[in-house]
Chains A and B, each alone.
Chain A
Amino acid sequence: MKLIFRIVFDRIFTVLTGLTVFIIVGALIAILGPMFRRGVGAVFLRGTVEFRKVQLAEFGHGDEAQVRAETERTGLVRAKVYEMIDRFKSGIDTRQLSERATEIYRAFGAELKLKEIPREQYTALRSLSRDIRDRLIEAFAKADIEQISQDVEHVLQYEKDERLKGTASEDFFRLARQYQKAAAATNLNKRDEYAKELAELEQIITELLGPRPTEDSPTLAQFRYGATRWDQAKKLLHKLHWKELWVEQQSSASLMRIEKSRIEEFAGTELEPLFRYIDDNLEKMLEPKPTFYWRYFLDDSTPGHYFGGIGPEILGTLLLTLLSMVFVVPFGIISAAYLTECTREGPVVRIIRISINTLAGVPSIVFGLFGMAFFVLFFIPLFGGPSKPCILAGSMTLAVLTLPVMIRSSEEAIRAVPQTYKEASLALGASSFRTFMKVTLPAALPGILTGVILSLSRVAGETAPILFTAGIAVGPVPKSVFQTTRTLSYGSWDMAVADKLSAQVPHNQYGMVVALVSLILCMNALAIILRSRVFKRLKGH
């Protein structure tokens, strides 16, 4: 009976522990898997022609002739989109039409001035063109097709006037006919509504295809190009088709998001075929190609991480991490040596140990504030350095943060070295310092390297301590340790909190996180290989 119980309990124990491990591993995969998938998307992507344009213009990579050919090819396909929009606009955008009429009036005036004609004739023509202009602008403002037709007919009467033949004023009649046609095809009552919708539509098309080739290039890099990634283009296409609306369900309930078709909205207008055209020709307009963007890990980015890579972030993370290791490893080992070799257990050592353990549990933001108060504002200026955040201050702060981990693991490692080694060395006449350096330390090296691994991982991922001491989200690549730097952890944090940024360039945020995880893994793997080599050498296998 007893035996059966024991067996059953053993089984239950095995199953429970196995289940726990299984759940943990499952959770890890469930969390890390999608993250990795999206992060990998930053490097393996279907890049559009816009992507290649960015690469060429901002970073100087790629084949210029090829990009130009692609731009021309896609430009031809895109031209039709702009044509459609312009035609539709000519029927509804009264402000633009009025401006156009005024422009023609001015051009005609300027032409008259250059002509040598009698003064009376000049005045007469001038007032005539003013009349035409005013009549047209009146017609643009009207919503009734009958009245518009009347006005247009009235204007068109002047076409027969000999004096206007072959002058700039002929544009008036072209504009009038165009408007008449467009007005007939448009529901003029909905003109204002259309104008608003069209502005939105144009905005989306600009996001998709970039600014029109005829427009001036915008100052900010993020507005200079269209969708660089095919998945991004697909998203924009969806946005183009479906208008997002938030509607109130009941008085107290939260708003509900609904999507409204834009095709229906523009049904029956000249713009209706546009949607089909974009649907059918999007690939021709963007020419997506599978791209392996390995330069992602080297390239700088345009401000705000809209385009480009995470090179400076990786560099900054490596710099901060390695520099902090330079500080923490010697201090950690020396402190551990003091605690294990140079003192005997007593109240002082106990207080030191409690302090170290407490330090290990202090939130990292506190270290950040300490780093700013001590290293940035006091310590580095003390030696003539700049009194502002810099890599040096950041790495020192990180070193302080991870010092307890380092001390404790080194202490454990040194304590684990057999007493007989020390005895043997001392019995041969070595001083205790020499014994420590030549026998204890080499034998403790694997354990100390474990501490280094733990510290590395901790330091590389910390954000709070460098918040005030070294990190920035946008800025130049550092040229010395007295400058601020971008880092992977800081960058992904900034993307998460910055307005809409992570929604617009999610691949960058995931890319940074994945790069950070991979970087830590790589450094850890290096340290682990080093440790096992040392261990093997010690064991003599």
Chain B
Amino acid sequence: MFSPVEKPGKNRLYLEVVQRLKQNDAGKSVERAELAQASACVVVKAENFSFFYGSKMGVKDISMDIYPSTVTAIIGPSGCGKSTFLRSINRINDLIPNIRVEGKILVNGQDVYDKRINLVNLRQQVGMVFQKPNPFPKSIFDNVAYGPKLQGIMNRGYLQQIVEESLRAAALWDEVKDDLKKSALAFSGGQQQRLCIARALATKPNVLLMDEPCSALDPIATGKIEDLIDELRRDYTIVIVTHNMQQAARVSERTAFFCLGELVEYDTTTKIFRNPGEKQTEDYVTGRFG
């Protein structure tokens, strides 16, 4: 079904191109061509995707490409369908009864709404972090090892290695390394949210979906999560839904603006915030939008 993508190679290729683009504006044409080539390996691609809750429409006719090793922010007013779209990518919306979709979402070239798709593989490739920290009522170790165990890894030593790697990647290792047996619920909200990120990273996904990951956290914890996202962008493709426009501006490279279930504008973050193409976008980012 899903073949593991050689993530580092592709990511690095794209990253290098972007770096070079940033450094000098000269030789634009060559770089543009290279960029186009790199973009061919988009990780998530939505094609005329629509989502319905019963007869009510969730999102309408979305087409967008999400590039590897990029942080893509999705912003927009409440009820505009940003979460719906995000939750469609790993099909976690399936929990809701009476849903219907039209169009396609491709992850690594595979349509996720294909009937033959293996949901287990899909979800292991597309990790997710939720709005509220939701660690399982188990120990730190069991929380992080949950995903690898699902993949059939039972070797204790290997599991320990994965747990340590994931916790290090989520910048949590130093804080919890002595309390791996302790229940996750005994930690603070920010730590819990980083634990959830570590848990998502443990399955070694390509894509990390974040559904307003900082909305339940205080500014300090939020700062830590943002730093973490900055760290992670090197190895993962991150899609983040946020209400906080400063956050989107701080952490993302590309931003999509959703309104009333439609994708209004999708471009680099700088462009969206400095020089939006649409009047609606401008109103929203400048705060004039009601």
Which A residues form the contact surface with B (CB < 8 A)?
344, 418-431, 434, 438-439, 442-443, 537-541
Contacts and interface: CB of A to CB of B under 8 A. Distances in A.
A439 B142 CA distance: 11
A534 to B, nearest CB: 10
Contact of B92 (A344, A426, A442, A538): A426
B97 to A, nearest CB: 5
29 contacts: A419-B95, A420-B132, A420-B134, A423-B128, A423-B130, A424-B130, A424-B135, A425-B136, A427-B90, A428-B123, A428-B146, A428-B147, A428-B150, A428-B203, A429-B121, A429-B123, A429-B147, A429-B150, A430-B150, A434-B150, A442-B137, A443-B137, A538-B183, A539-B183, A539-B185, A540-B182, A540-B183, A540-B184, A541-B183
A429 B121 CA distance: 7
Contacts of B136: 421, 424-425, 439, 443
Q: Which of A421, A426, A428 has the most CB of B within 10 A?
A: A428
Nearest to B146: A428
Nearest to A535: B137
B186 interface: yes
A420 B133 CA distance: 9
Tell which of B121, B132, B147, B151 has the most Cβ of chain A within 10 Å: B147
Interface string B92-119: 1001010000000000000000000001
B130 A428 contact: no
A430 B151 CA distance: 9
A424 to B, nearest CB: 5
A74 to B, nearest CB: 67
Contacts of B146: 425, 428, 430, 438
B2 to A, nearest CB: 11
Report, nearest first, the 4 A-B pairs whose CB atoms are least far apart. Answer: A540-B183, A540-B186, A420-B134, A538-B137
A439 B199 CA distance: 14
Nearest to B148: A428
Nearest to A540: B183
Nearest to B120: A429
A420 B150 contact: no
Contacts of B130: 420, 423-424, 427
Contacts of B199: 424, 428
Contact of A426 (B95, B121, B132, B135): B95
A430 B146 CA distance: 9
Nearest to B126: A427
B213 interface: no
Interface string B38-58: 000000000000000000000
B190 interface: no
Contacts of A426: 92, 95, 123
Interface of B: 90, 92, 95, 97, 119-124, 127-128, 130, 132, 134-138, 146-147, 150-151, 182-186, 196, 199-200, 203
A426 B200 CA distance: 11
B124 A428 contact: yes
Contacts of B128: 423, 427
B137 A540 contact: yes
Contacts of A420: 130, 132, 134
A442 B143 CA distance: 13
Nearest to A428: B147
Nearest to A445: B137
A419 B132 CA distance: 11
A431 B120 contact: yes
Contact of A427 (B121, B151, B186, B200): B200
Given A421-B134, A427-B123, 8 more contacts: A419-B95, A420-B132, A424-B130, A424-B134, A429-B151, A443-B137, A540-B137, A541-B186
A7 to B, nearest CB: 40
Nearest to A443: B137
Nearest to A420: B134
Most buried by A among B90, B95, B137, B199: B137
A344 B124 contact: no
Nearest to B185: A540
A102 to B, nearest CB: 92
Nearest to B132: A420
Nearest to A537: B183
Given A420-B134, A424-B196, A429 B124 contact: yes
Contacts of A541: 183, 186
Nearest to A439: B136
Contacts of B120: 429-431
A422 B146 CA distance: 13
Q: Which of B90, B138, B184 has the most CB of A within 10 A?
A: B138
A20 B130 CA distance: 47
A425 B183 CA distance: 17
Contacts of B196: 424
Contacts of B183: 537-541
Nearest to A424: B134
A423 B182 contact: no
A539 B185 CA distance: 6
B134 A428 contact: no
B198 to A, nearest CB: 12
B108 to A, nearest CB: 15
Contacts of A423: 92, 95, 128, 130, 134
A428 B200 contact: yes
Contacts of A538: 137, 183, 185
Contacts of B182: 540
A385 to B, nearest CB: 42
A424 B213 CA distance: 13
